Amino acid sequence: MYAMRRELNQYRQAGHIAEAAVADPHRLIQMLFEGALERIAVARGAMDQGNIRVKGEKLSQAIAIIDGLRCSLDHEQGADLAEKLEMLYEYMSRRLLEGNMRNDPSALDEVSRLLREIKSGWDAIPGMLRQAS
């Protein structure tokens, strides 16, 4: 949980302080997804421009946010899903590292697609809960 708080603080520093201060736990996870996607997009642009410093900084931040998502998994409830997501988050971090080292934009694109897919499922949860009740 500490890693998630650290990443949330990092996200807050990026200009999302007011929303993060009042967001519920579901929204906080959405914000982490958004923050990781935003940093990968900036890193992708920096990669295209040959800006090694910004690319490295933003990919490091994205990896840290993904690690925060991984640490927030609840292995007590939905252990099977949590285990699969943990492996996927670890894979994403590895791919971002590889993409950084090899200057491989396809690795960044792959992780962005995976994050968007997980985020879309996460975004659908409130609607599914409303329909179930």
Model confidence pLDDT, tens digit, residues 12-67: 555 555 555 566 888 899 999 999 999 999 999 999 999 999 999 999 999 999 99
- Whether 18 maps to a domain, the answer reads yes
- Whether 132 maps to a domain, the answer reads no
Per the structure, the complete domain to which residue 113 belongs is given by 2-123
Report residue 34 as tokens: 């958004």
- Whether 129 maps to a domain, the answer reads no
Q: What is the tally of structural domains in the chain?
A: 1
> The dihedral of CA 8, 32, 40, 104: what is its sign?
positive
pTM for the whole thing? Answer: 0.82
User: Could you give the angle at which helices 79-102 and 105-132 cross, rounded to 10 degrees?
Assistant: 160
pLDDT at 8: 57
Lowest-confidence segment of 50-54, 116-120, 129-133 by average pLDDT: 129-133
Which CATH number characterizes residue 96's domain?
A: 1.20.120.340
